[in-house]
């Protein structure tokens, strides 16, 4: 009976109901879309940062991350290789050896990273291959062929086919130097990375740097990137205490923290908007309920109890809130879904994005049904709560006062 009455009242007061419905729906849609936008941009930033080079999981010697020196190398790379090859949850993996060297071309000398990589496997693990700008990517049988970052090439005034020398220390701290030929130039879009990195085939690197069967780290791509954390833990358990297996959450802790902080401030901004909306709905409900005092007085006079009136009014507001959040959730959800497939493109803002380590101008939203449901629930609870005070207020009137209320 209450349900029927509540429904009738909503229909009867069309104008009042429409305004409440409109306010709550728009707010819900706004919340759903804002969350999807915020999460989406954070996912994009992290995914970009992870996939360009660092990878989802890194395996190092246990002290290497705290003290990245040649004293903490992986000295038995084939052991790690065997272990990783036997893990079904891994889509791909490869060894890398990074060293800091001095590049010299003509009169110019610039310090930078020279790393030995496995070119074929690396294609699936990072965006080095897809970032090719000029020339060719590395091959598995290359010798002194260099794949160099575009900014580093610019600093050394190098083009494809040019010669550049490097000097550095081998894995045994011995002196290492050779002449390299630029085979390809890459541009990931991350300025610092492009300005300081160059790669050669690890087989060649190992010979020249006395690094056979050694690596600074392994990089692992899980079959399910969302489960990188669990896989990193499983690999760590399999390898034993001599090695550390860290997911991107750890290797890129600073970025993850920055994203969390950004989300925190984002939610504070949304919170302030909701407080304002909460009071708008409350004041509107207060006005709407007060315009019904006469009607409530008559109901009380014919024997309706205050509890029955409370139930009746709360049911009305709950029904309205429910319909609103469903409409708002759908609207916000459709927008979130649409922009997750057709990302918003900020053309011309690449430079600003790069400052935040983001090598992209497309920003897809994150369409996550569970988050949408969470936001809808929050809005439902908020809008019902905002009507409680006016309902309690009006229920305190005595029947005779209520009937005479103008």
Residues in contact with another protein by CB under 8 A are 63, 66-67, 69-71, 100, 102, 104, 107, 109-111, 165, 167, 169, 172-175, 177-179
Residue number with CB closer to another protein (164 or 320): 164
CB of 71 to another protein, least distance (A): 5
Asked if 213 and 249 count as a contact pair (C-beta separation under 8 A), the reply is no
Rounded CA separation 135/183 (Å): 6
Min dist CB 108 to another protein, Å, is 9
Shortest separation between residue 248's beta carbon and another protein, angstroms: 25
Looking at beta carbons only, is 26 or 165 nearer to another protein? Answer: 165
Q: Backbone phi, then psi, for 13, in 5-degree steps? A: -95, 70
Give a three-class secondary structure readout of 265-277: HHHHHHHHHHHHH
- Provide the minimum distance between the beta carbon of 167 and another protein in the complex, in angstroms, as a whole number: 6
CB of 100 to another protein, least distance (A): 7
The span from the CA of 174 to the CA of 168, in Å, is 9
**Beta bridge pairs of residue 14:** none
**Nearest of 10, 5, 23, 218 to residue 125 by alpha carbon:** 218
Query: What's the rounded Cα separation, in Å, for the pair 2 and 343?
Result: 46
Q: Which residue's CB is nearer to another protein, number 137 or number 193?
A: 193
Considering the complex, state which of residue 177 and residue 261 has its C-beta at the smaller distance from another protein.
177
Whichever of 168 and 328 has its CB closer to another protein, that residue is 168
Nearer to another protein, 112 or 184 (CB): 112
Closer residue to another protein (CB): 175 or 264:
175
The tokens describing 260, both together, are 């969390």
What does DSSP say about strands 145-149 and 175-186: parallel, antiparallel, or unpaired?
A: parallel
Strands (DSSP E) contained in 210-261 are: 217-222, 243-247
Contact yes or no for 59/358 (Cβ under 8 A): no
Here the tokens at position 337 are 């879904």
Q: How far is the CB of 158 from another protein (least distance, A)?
A: 15
Q: How far is the CB of 210 from another protein (least distance, A)?
A: 10
Two tokens at 310?
């409370």
Q: Which residues pair with 235 in a beta bridge?
A: none
């Amino acid at each position: 009976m209450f349900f029927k009455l509540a429904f009738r009242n909503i229909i009867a007061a069309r104008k009042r109901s429409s305004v409440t419905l409109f306010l709550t729906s728009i707010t819900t849609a706004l919340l759903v879309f804002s969350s999807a936008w915020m999460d989406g941009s954070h996912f994009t930033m992290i995914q970009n940062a992870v996939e360009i080079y660092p990878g989802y999981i890194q395996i190092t010697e246990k002290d290497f991350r705290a003290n990245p020196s040649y004293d903490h190398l992986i000295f038995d790379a084939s052991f790690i290789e065997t272990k990783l090859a036997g893990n079904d949850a891994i889509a791909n993996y490869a060894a890398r050896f990074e060293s800091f060297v001095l590049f010299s071309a003509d009169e110019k000398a610039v310090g930078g990273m020279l790393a030995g990589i496995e070119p074929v496997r690396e294609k699936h693990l990072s965006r080095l291959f897809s970032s090719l700008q000029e020339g060719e990517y590395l091959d598995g049988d290359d010798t002194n062929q260099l794949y160099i970052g575009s900014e580093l090439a610019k600093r050394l005034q190098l083009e494809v086919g040019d010669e550049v020398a490097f000097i550095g220390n081998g894995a045994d701290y011995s002196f290492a130097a050779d002449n390299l030929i630029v085979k390809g130039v890459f541009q990931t879009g991350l300025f610092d990375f492009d300005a300081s990195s160059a790669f050669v085939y690890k087989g060649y690197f190992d010979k020249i740097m006395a690094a056979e069967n050694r690596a600074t780290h392994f990089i692992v791509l899980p079959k399910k990137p969302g489960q990188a954390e669990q896989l990193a833990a499983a690999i760590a358990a399999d390898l034993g205490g001599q090695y550390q297996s860290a997911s991107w959450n750890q290797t890129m802790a600073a970025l993850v923290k920055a994203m969390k902080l950004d989300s925190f401030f984002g939610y504070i901004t949304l919170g302030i908007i909701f407080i304002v909306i909460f009071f708008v709905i409350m004041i509107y409900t207060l006005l709407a309920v007060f315009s019904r005092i006469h009607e409530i007085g008559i109901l009380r006079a014919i024997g309706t109890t205050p509890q029955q009136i409370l139930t009746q009014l709360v049911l009305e507001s709950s029904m309205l809130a429910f319909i609103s959040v469903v409409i708002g959730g759908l609207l916000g959800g459709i927008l979130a879904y649409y922009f997750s497939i057709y990302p918003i493109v900020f053309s011309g803002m690449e430079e600003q994005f790069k400052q935040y380590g983001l090598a992209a101008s497309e920003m897809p939203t994150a369409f996550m049904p569970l988050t949408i449901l969470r936001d809808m629930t929050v809005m439902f609870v908020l809008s019902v709560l905002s009507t409680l005070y006016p309902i309690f207020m009006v229920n305190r009137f005595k029947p005779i006062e209520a009937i005479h209320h103008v």
